[in-house]
Amino acid sequence: KTHHYKWAVRYEFKSPDCYEKLAITIDGTTPGPTIMARQGDTIVVELKNELQMENVAVHWHGIRMFGTPWNDGTEGVTQCPIVPGDTFVYRFTLDKPGTFFYHGHYGMQRSAGLYGLIQVSVPNGVVEPFLYDEDRSIILNDWWHNSTYEQAIGLSSLNFRWVNEPESLLIQGRGRFNCSLAEFGGKCNQTNAECSPHIITVVPGKTYRLRIASVTSLSALNFEIEGHNMTIVEADGNYVEPFVVKNLNIYSGETYSVLVKADQDPSRNYWAAINVVSRKRTTPTGLAIFNYSPNPPLTPPPIAPSTGPPWNDTFSRFNQSLAIKARKGYTVPPPQTSDKSITLLNTQNKIDGYNRWAVNNVSLLLPATPYLIALKWNKTNAFNQSPAPETYDDYQNYDIHNPAANINATYGSSIYRFPFNSTVDVVLQNANMMKPNNSETHPWHLHGHDFWVLGYGLGKFDPVSDPMKYNLVDPIRKNTVPLHPYGWTALRFRADNPGAWAFHCHIESHFFLGMGVVFEEGVEMVPRLPTSVLGCGDTKRLRMPVKSGGSSLPSGFIYLSNLFVLLLLFLN
Ligand SMILES: O=C1O[C@H]([C@@H](O)CO)C(O)=C1O
């Protein structure tokens, strides 16, 4: 089945947390519409950029884009940005069931409100390995009152301004800022219906599959429903061994499904709460109401909401990561050996006085020509052709527990190129930031793939003994994984999806500051790119002279037809 959507992306005045600011909406809403479809269905989104003064691109997070890498929506990697007034048609197939989402992947537009859920059910006739009565979905976000422009300029100024902690946390696009904290010139209004809490209505006795996605720009979150246990059954579209928790830690870019039974006193409502973890918390708890029907939805629960576990309890978060295993009978075990292993040391650095993040001392600068296009069109000047570093120089002597002796890094645009179908291990290594006694959690997201999470550790990875402890039996498969403070995380994936794929920290400001890399595999198998990814407006239809792997038409013909199109454009 094919699902067609026509979306207009534009700025509107919105008050998701009662404070009015400009937000990026899809057809007037943030979060945008939820895509609901089945595995195997095709999604067609005609996305019109009505932002007036800004480009846009939308990434389909967790959808692997088999056969359509140019529709991954990653500006600078897989496509040119969509210019104001232009329409881009995303077309892709939902390769597996589960919980996914979409979000802006240009500049810092995600934190301006450009995001929404994708809910993919199993094909008709297929049963899932757990029972529930109904689905409920929520998408979690953090929210700032200053604009993404102020954030982006602050981050990229010599006089660095950090984005700081968010003003609010949003559940399904709704939060509540305390307007009485200051005089906001009429811009903050707690009676605005836009910021009344999200309601999750349940019928006593029923079991719900609550799908939870985190699209936060910065915050790691801890989610709980007052008085209710949650059984985790799905992570990033993969079934996991049922695992009961009271609190779920969820990092930016992750999705989970939990089963919740409405088995508490039905005469009242309960809080569903999110709290910041892993960074020193200044943002108030984000709240929704878990409403037992037929109680009035907005009746607040009689007790104060939980303020969550201590923000710096790294150990319990680390243990939750360790405890999640693939569901028996529903997983493909990883290849038992790999063809290659790379180590990616994450560091906070300075370049010419500017604050940056780097991987193996290289801070990614996205080239003007997106990688996939440069690779297909053999534009060797578009990015640095020498291979990206597979480890940190002198990794052995790098002290991850202290600020680096030399904090300077360099800009780079090199990529990692893997033979098609090879098996690749990636060891992510965390370290101290520029400030002493500081190391943050980084959620790393890989486009175009699921990887197996072979292991996590606290401290420095030991290339001899740690691989012997890898879980090669039932590791969970994911597309986003936390790298804990001062820790390491080891992944394995098959380079089996022809294309060019971003792999980056999902903290929006960290990727913006260069914390990412690009992987390529099998690009020679990618068919000729649709012209719509190559440019903008009418010039998208321009046929350019082909250097490699493109048209079968003689180049003289193409040259003449280009001249003809140019002439037409000129006459217009
Ligand atoms: O990139 C970051 O910068 C700040 C801080 O290190 C400097 O203000 C922070 O917490 C980050 O994650």
Q: At residue 315, does pLDDT exceed 90?
A: yes
pLDDT in the model for residue 536: 75
ipTM of the complex: 0.98
In angstroms, the CA 479 to CA 204 distance is 35
Ligand 1 mean position, distance from CA 128 (Å): 42
* Largest separation between any pair of C-alpha atoms in the chain: 78
Nearest CA to ligand 1 atom 5: 162
How does DSSP assign 24-85, residue by residue?
EEETTBSS-PPEEEETT-EEEEEEEE--SS--B-EEEET---TT-GGGS--BTTTBPPBPTT
Q: At residue 539, does pLDDT exceed 80?
A: no
Residues in the chain: 572
In angstroms, the CA 542 to CA 563 distance is 9
Q: What is the mean pLDDT of the chain?
A: 94
* Tens of pLDDT, residues 249-292: 999 999 999 999 999 999 999 999 999 999 999 999 999 999 99
Mean pLDDT calculated for residue range 488-500: 98
Ligand 1 mean position, distance from CA 162 (Å): 6
- Please, which pLDDT band fits residue 533 given cuts at 50, 70 and 90? confident
Mean pLDDT calculated for residue range 543-565: 46
**Contact of 175 with 113, CB cutoff 8 Å:** no
- Please, which pLDDT band fits residue 540 given cuts at 50, 70 and 90? confident
Nearest CA to ligand 1 atom 7: 162
pLDDT in the model for residue 289: 98
Q: At residue 177, does pLDDT exceed 90?
A: yes
Mean pLDDT calculated for residue range 540-553: 50
Give the position, in ligand 1's atom list, of the atom nearest the Cα of 434.
6
Give the position, in ligand 1's atom list, of the atom nearest the Cα of 279.
10
Pocket residue to mutate for ligand 1, from 433, 435, 507, 510, most atoms within 8 A of Cβ: 433
Q: Is the CB of residue 433 below 6 angstroms from any atom belonging to ligand 1?
A: yes
Pocket residue to mutate for ligand 1, from 108, 142, 161, 162, most atoms within 8 A of Cβ: 162
pLDDT in the model for residue 542: 62
162-198 burial, b at 16+ Cβ within 10 Å, e below that, comes to: ebeebbbbbbbbbbbbebeeeeeeeebeeebeebebb
Ligand 1 mean position, distance from CA 353 (Å): 15
Give the position, in ligand 1's atom list, of the atom nearest the Cα of 507.
12
* Tens of pLDDT, residues 345-380: 999 999 999 999 999 999 999 999 999 999 999 999
Q: What is the pTM of this model?
A: 0.94
Q: What is the percent of the chain with per-residue pLDDT over 90, rounded to a whole number?
A: 91
**How many C-beta atoms lie closer than 10 Å to residue 280's C-beta?**
8
pLDDT in the model for residue 552: 40
Q: Is the CB of residue 508 below 6 angstroms from any atom belonging to ligand 1?
A: no
In angstroms, the CA 488 to CA 330 distance is 27
Give the position, in ligand 1's atom list, of the atom nearest the Cα of 348.
1
Ligand 1 mean position, distance from CA 183 (Å): 29
Ligand 1 mean position, distance from CA 393 (Å): 24
Nearest CA to ligand 1 atom 2: 162
Give the position, in ligand 1's atom list, of the atom nearest the Cα of 513.
1
What is the SS3 assignment for 195?
helix
H/E element, 433: none
pLDDT in the model for residue 510: 98
432 vs 181, residue with greater confidence: 432
Ligand 1 mean position, distance from CA 433 (Å): 8
Residue type, 148: T
**Contact of 269 with 290, CB cutoff 8 Å:** yes
pLDDT in the model for residue 571: 54
Nearest CA to ligand 1 atom 8: 162
Give the position, in ligand 1's atom list, of the atom nearest the Cα of 435.
6
Helix spans in 274-387 (H)? 314-323, 371-376
Cα angle, residue 212 at apex, residues 75 and 249 outer, rounded to 5°: 95
pLDDT in the model for residue 267: 98
Give the position, in ligand 1's atom list, of the atom nearest the Cα of 433.
6
H/E element, 209: strand 207-214
- Please, which pLDDT band fits residue 68 given cuts at 50, 70 and 90? very high
Nearest CA to ligand 1 atom 9: 162
Q: Is the CB of residue 162 below 6 angstroms from any atom belonging to ligand 1?
A: yes
In sequence order, the 6+-apart residues with CB closer than 8 A to the CB of 23 are 11, 12, 13, 14, 16, 30, 112, 113
127 vs 535, residue with greater confidence: 127
* Tens of pLDDT, residues 407-444: 999 999 999 999 999 999 999 999 999 999 999 999 99
Give the position, in ligand 1's atom list, of the atom nearest the Cα of 357.
1
Pocket residue to mutate for ligand 1, from 348, 354, 363, 513, most atoms within 8 A of Cβ: 348
Give the position, in ligand 1's atom list, of the atom nearest the Cα of 510.
1
Nearest CA to ligand 1 atom 4: 162
pLDDT in the model for residue 567: 53
Burial class of residue 98, CB neighbours in 10 A (0-12, 13-18, 19+): buried
In sequence order, the 6+-apart residues with CB closer than 8 A to the CB of 93 are 40, 41, 42, 43, 66, 67, 68
